[in-house]
Amino acid sequence: MRNVIIFIRIYFTFFFFLLLMGLSLYLLFSYNKYQNAVYSEVANEVAGRINSQVNKVTYYFYLKKTNDSLVHANEMLYNKLREDYSITDTTNRLVIDTLRVDSLEQFRRFLFREAKVVRNSVSQPNNYIVLHRGRDQGISQDMGVIAPNSGVAGTVIEVSKNFAVVMSLLHSQSNVSGRLKRGGETGNLIWDGKNKNILLLKDVSKSAKINQGDTVVTSGFSEKFPPGLLLGYVVDIINDKSSSTYTVRVKSAVDFETLQFAYVIQNLQKEEVNDLLKKVKSK
């Protein structure tokens, strides 16, 4: 207590000066319109800047929660796409747009499950993605994997209880059936083995009219991917005169370096088709 009293005595003049200064400013800003207007403007500007910085900090700390919520929302939207359902042909005309999604569950073909990327490589001859979802969460081999922008990322090749290894499109053995969205011509999409952004769409008919920037999507011939998912965009054409087909260079729709979330696609009608093919082959 004695030290506090001594401190006050030493700095009494300074504290008294601050008190008088504060009182003077209060009177100045309270009873003079011009000074009050200037003070209000400056105070609002300072407060606004401070709040802006506080909001940026708050947004940063809530960014993970926001990302997670968006990933879950995308998962629900993917599972409501018309392309994920396969209606059995009947003699009656069906207009899918007029039907409620939950009334079509028996016709669902594809189911999407979100997953967190925990490991990823892009600079190796054979690149892999590791997802934090496995057998216990409904993941199995040969399931397709896409990025949040609907771009194809790869195929599940190995599964444990809680993790799955995905063969990235940036892999020497990766092969996806693709087609040109505008013309419909199909080909096989592989990696060029050099550039992490460039894929090759091979065996495209030379009758195809191809322009730079054309969209390349999944053909729908694969059991792993629904038709119309993004594969990439045409960069240019490799015209081998000794071949009857084009090789098209395609910029990948997926930025593999920044991939943090993915969606695993389950084909619910896969077993039925495979069983039918086995019966045919066994005859």
Binning pLDDT at 50, 70 and 90, where does residue 39 land?
low
The pLDDT value recorded for residue 92 is 41
Q: What is the chain's mean pLDDT, rounded?
A: 80
Binning pLDDT at 50, 70 and 90, where does residue 278 land?
confident
* Exposure letters 227-248 (e unless 16+ CB within 10 A, then b): eebbbbebbebeeeeeeebbbb
Q: Where are the domains of the chain?
A: 2-61, 66-282
- Quick one: CA torsion of 93, 94, 98, 99, rounded to 10 degrees? 140
Q: What is the pLDDT of residues 3-33, one digit of tens each?
A: 777 777 787 788 777 888 887 777 776 777 6
Q: What is the pLDDT of residues 245-257, one digit of tens each?
A: 999 999 999 999 9
Higher-pLDDT residue of 51 and 141 is: 141
66-282: CATH topology: Thrombin, subunit H (2.40.10)
Would you say residue 97 has pLDDT above 50?
no
